[in-house]
Amino acid sequence: MLELNRYGKLRPIQRPFTDEEQREMDTLTEQQDDLAGKLEALSEDDENAYEEAGRLEAEIGRVNAEIIALESRAMVWDTQQMAEAGAFVIIDPQGKLLIERGLVRRENSAALDAAGATVTGTPQAEAADPADGPVPKLKPVHSAKLCQRLTAHRTVAIHAEMVTQPAVALAALLRHLVPQALPEHYGYTSARDYLALSGDNNHDSLLRAADDLPISAAWNAIEAQRARWTAELPSRRGDLLPWLAKQDPGTTLLELLAFCTGTLLDGIVGEEKPQAISALAGALHLDMTRYWTPTRSTYFDHVSKARIGEVVSAAVSPKVAADLGKMKKADAAAAAELRLAKVVWLPEILTDTEIPVTPSWEARDDEDGDAGEDEQGPENGKGSDDAQEDDEGAAEPGSNHSGINNTACDVPVSSTAAGTQAPWPFPTAAGLAHAS
């Protein structure tokens, strides 16, 4: 294995599923959610619950293994990666055949930097590759249903914040549209983004994921906006464009755009993993404690008694958690709600800032390539490198860029240090002429 320390390692790209693979994935995901729901519904007071839980967990493990195997089949190497990388065939100490693919010499720094390669010989690089075989999954802390419930609350909170910061909404919409308008510049990708520009309003899907949304502050703020625009907008679709053309672009149109963009947010997920919508949460400086609190109905009734103990131990004290451990699950959940009533605590899924890597299908030179040096000179080229390093540092630690470009970590949205949104300079004809 020491020989591998001389190489960096590229990561394969996940191609889009075929129609048959997508149907298979949908079936497996449905089975996974159904089994997780049955496991969550088991009562700890039932004497047969332990045996049934073991059976369900084994079945969930089987479904998870099939999902991992299906995802592995969709991992491919693009032409440029195959031209630059090689492979080692190794017999491990147990006599098992291992194939280490995507290896690039470390002195070939250009290829490594361009493809976001990691250096082998580290725990991360030597971790099991999904393509090498199924990796057993531990039972998640939060079920798929609870993940969907919590992320629905987060999505609505982001919508509420976008309404108060319409400039961020405009920037977020453009961040989504620009790569689609200029695919020759940013490449093609099938990765999930934080907006679903399919014309489908997220209102009903949010309520299906979290039936307690109507009592949340964020939902009520959005519904107030919905009532406002229903009252102000013309009733006939044919009158809409003339009405919009007469409105102030810097106020009315921008506020309406913020509301409408929020209805397209796609942030509901069934597992804890990096989410594209985290980029918006960071840009908006989202504080979920303003919109969500841990109670029996919102959290404690949906997790295990062991998890309740972990939360209380971390947020209150180990002694209090030990006292709760002597209670039945329902009593422990009620006690945990009381203990955390005046404590600021959020589950990890509501505070996660990691953003998934978004691989593109077509490679291009980064800004610090030869073209940048020819136009800007060596000194400016170095500055560009520094800026790129800063951008990469803002991404989640240890992220591996499977593609050459178009990562989801560089959302061009910012606000002032004090958190106050500066007035948005809406584009004008004179400004555009000056910029060109």
255-312 tens-digit pLDDT: 999 999 888 888 888 888 888 888 889 999 999 999 999 999 999 999 989 899 999 9
pLDDT for residue 376 is more than 50 = no
- As a whole number of angstroms, the distance between CA 56 and CA 280 comes to 36
| pLDDT score of 412 | 42
Query: How many other CB atoms are there within 10 angstroms of residue 247's CB atom?
Result: 14
Within 8 A by CB and 6+ apart from 331, the residues are none
Phi, psi values for residue 106, rounded to 5°: -65, -25
Which tokens belong to 397?
A: 């630690």
| pLDDT score of 406 | 41
| pLDDT score of 192 | 66
DSSP SS3 for 253: helix
Within 8 A by CB and 6+ apart from 31, the residues are 63
| pLDDT score of 396 | 39
pLDDT for residue 123 is more than 60 = no
- The amino acid sitting at 62 is R
DSSP 165-234: -HHHHHHHHHHHHHHHH-HHHH-------SB-TTS--SHHHHHHH-TTGGGSHHHHHHHHHHHHHHHHS-
Contact 337, 331 (CB under 8 A): no
42-89 tens-digit pLDDT: 765 565 666 777 788 888 888 888 888 888 888 887 777 777 778 878
Each domain of the chain, given as residue ranges in start order, spans 293-345
15-45 tens-digit pLDDT: 888 888 888 988 998 888 888 888 777 765 5
pTM across the whole model: 0.51
First vs last Cα of the chain: how many Å apart? 55
Categorize the per-residue pLDDT at 387 as very low, low, confident or very high, splitting at 50, 70 and 90: very low
| pLDDT score of 293 | 92
Pairing outcome for strands 75-76 and 13-14: antiparallel
- As a whole number of angstroms, the distance between CA 95 and CA 98 comes to 9
